[in-house]
Chain A
Amino acid sequence: MIDVSELSKFFGERRAVGPMSLHIESGEIVGLLGLNGAGKTTTLRMLSSDLLPTSGTIRIDGVDLVEDPDRVRPKIGYLPDRPPLYDEMRVEEYLGFTARLRGMPSDGKTARRVREVMDQTAVGEVRRQFVGTLSHGYRQRLGIAQAIVHRPSLLLLDEPISGLDPVQIVEMRELIRSLHGDHTIVLSSHILPEVSETCDRILVMVAGQVRDAGWDQIRGTLALTLRGDPAVAERAAAATAGVTRVEAIGNLAAARAPHGSAQDDTGVFTLRVASDRDVREALCAALVHADVGVLELSRAERQLEDLFLSLAGLGKGAPAGVKEVAA
């Protein structure tokens, strides 16, 4: 779907992005995670053809974006960090305009598609309203609606939940997930839970470069803070039905025990448990039965945060195995 090779962007002498190489499969939801100024927006602007790269190539469905933008642009839907909305237009009229702008004919099919997208993004109830009168949440939804109205195969969303309240964030996350399958989605954010909850794959951007953090190994796992005998706890966890992997969380404790768990002076240690189903209840029962104290059980979000901060140079140092990669 997307093949990026040795992509770089310089603004004057300053390198904003690159060199970056990555591959994104069709149908994936990929999150670009990074702090402000990491190069996420610049990367998305280049992928959308709004900005030309200084060097490197971007191929979408095998077509070079720089060499042949006319063939590629109809395949792209782009929501910039500020939705590109004309305040003096009505919602339905605006979507009709953006559809025609992307080459859709002015006929009944386009009108039907506009209504379909309004239903999909839940902006139908404000269809007659002027865009300038919409709330922030509706503006974001309308921004997504304009990006998908022409059925693009690639959807680029720059900070889609920025400025939304908690309810709107959940709705937006569901909306983005609902687009899964019809579109390959690349979204950027500096908010870890947003990316973690929404995306199939996470690419961390640091100083304009993509780094592999081993996120996929961490996501979908449970983090357990326990007290007792680490070896017993590991055996009990491994024996629980559905558990596929038990391992230590290396970056949370100073010392690494030989049996693979990390234990501090108070006898508290942590384990990371991967499973192919919801094993929380069974796991707790097994550990308690084995006389291991369960102090805390959580999804491994905190470890993601630690890793993210380490990558951004704000944490306890990059964990082993972190390296720049062609994703």
Chain B
Amino acid sequence: MSGVLLVARRELWGYLRSPVGYLLAALTLLVDGLLFVAYAVGEAGAKRYSAFVLQQFFYGLSGVTMFCCTLLAMRLIAHEEEHATLVLLKTSPLKDRQIVLGKYLSVMVAVLAITLLTLYMPALIFVRGRVSVGHIAIGYLGIALLASAVTAIGIFASSLARTQLVAVILAAVMVAAMLLLWWVARVSDPPVKDFVNGLALHHKRQFDFMDGVLRLENVAYYLSVTVFFLLAAQKTLEARRWR
């Protein structure tokens, strides 16, 4: 565990010491704020249910979080490869699993820290309307699980690529493909429709969280995606020792 924390801590210091980390955080919060005002709250004087505003807020937040995770994850392994520092980790007593988990943990801590800074927006709804704390908590849980899955996909893409640019393109393509499965489901017939819909990264799974509904199957889905791609990243790192 200490090896995982060591890798995670170094990554986090890397974010804090580079302008990229601050820029990304600022950009994320700015877009979140704009989406909240323009999309969730709507036009001045327009009347909306508080729960609806909160749902729209989480909808916007989920998109921004996916974007943020993809960008942060791209650098994790591809950046080390580009700067020839990966060899330091690979020749240390750390296991590949610890390297992958440490990097995953660093992105999750960074993304959750940025996401928590958006808490003032649901708090504003609280002031002017009526929403339950449970709804807010489940919405944020959904965002955290989505972030976890997208980060894992990003790490896998980063482990495949030699450069950060290739990593981010690869991650974006994979995330987009998993997002668009809901559209594939729309044009399919059962039972393929249900199966494909169940695999989609956002639509069916995330809407429940946005509505404040906690379903264990959705939690299990995001955790499964996370574990699958982290495992794939670990195996890719192991395979790289052969070439």
Contact = CB atoms under 8 A, between A and B. Distances in A.
Partners in one complex: yes
Interface of A: 11, 48-52, 70, 73-74, 76, 78, 80, 82-89, 97-98, 100-103, 146
Taking residues whose C-beta sits less than 8 angstroms from the other chain, chain B's interface range is 20 to 34
Contacts of A82: 84
Closest 8 CB pairs of A and B: A84-B88, A82-B84, A84-B85, A88-B17, A101-B92, A73-B93, A52-B241, A48-B91
Contacts of A48: 87, 91
A50 B85 contact: no
A70 B95 CA distance: 8
Given A80-B84, A85-B85, A97-B6, 14 more contacts: A11-B243, A49-B241, A50-B91, A50-B241, A52-B241, A70-B93, A70-B95, A73-B92, A78-B87, A82-B84, A84-B85, A86-B14, A101-B89, A103-B93
A50 B84 contact: no
A100 B85 contact: no
Contacts of B235: none
Contacts of B13: 88-89
Contacts of A103: 93
Contacts of B242: 51-52
A166 B17 CA distance: 35
Contacts of A98: 88
B241 to A, nearest CB: 5
A301 B10 CA distance: 47
A98 B92 CA distance: 9
Contacts of A11: 243
A70 B90 CA distance: 11
A74 B10 contact: no
B87 A97 contact: no
Contacts of B137: none
B91 A49 contact: yes
Contacts of A52: 241-242
Contact of B90 (A50, A87, A88, A146): A50
Contacts of B88: 84, 98, 101, 146
B85 A86 contact: yes
Given A86-B14, A100-B6, A78 B91 contact: yes
A98 B91 CA distance: 11
A88 B14 CA distance: 6
Contacts of A97: 6, 10
B132 interface: no
A207 to B, nearest CB: 20
Given A51-B241, A52-B242, A73 B91 contact: yes
B94 interface: yes
Contacts of A51: 241-243
Interface in B1-23: 3, 6, 10, 13-14, 17-18
A4 B185 CA distance: 57
21 contacts: A11-B243, A48-B87, A49-B90, A50-B241, A51-B242, A51-B243, A52-B241, A73-B91, A73-B92, A78-B87, A84-B84, A84-B86, A86-B14, A86-B83, A88-B17, A89-B10, A89-B13, A97-B6, A97-B10, A102-B93, A103-B93
Contacts of B90: 49-50
A326 to B, nearest CB: 25
Nearest to A72: B93
A285 to B, nearest CB: 54
A252 to B, nearest CB: 42
Given A52-B242, A84-B87, A102 B17 contact: no
B87 to A, nearest CB: 5
Contacts of A50: 87, 90-91, 241
A52 B87 CA distance: 13
Nearest to B16: A88
A11 B242 CA distance: 9
A51 B243 CA distance: 7
Pick the most buried of A76, A80, A84: most chain B CB atoms within 10 A of its CB: A84
A80 B89 CA distance: 12
A50 B10 CA distance: 21
Contacts of B86: 84
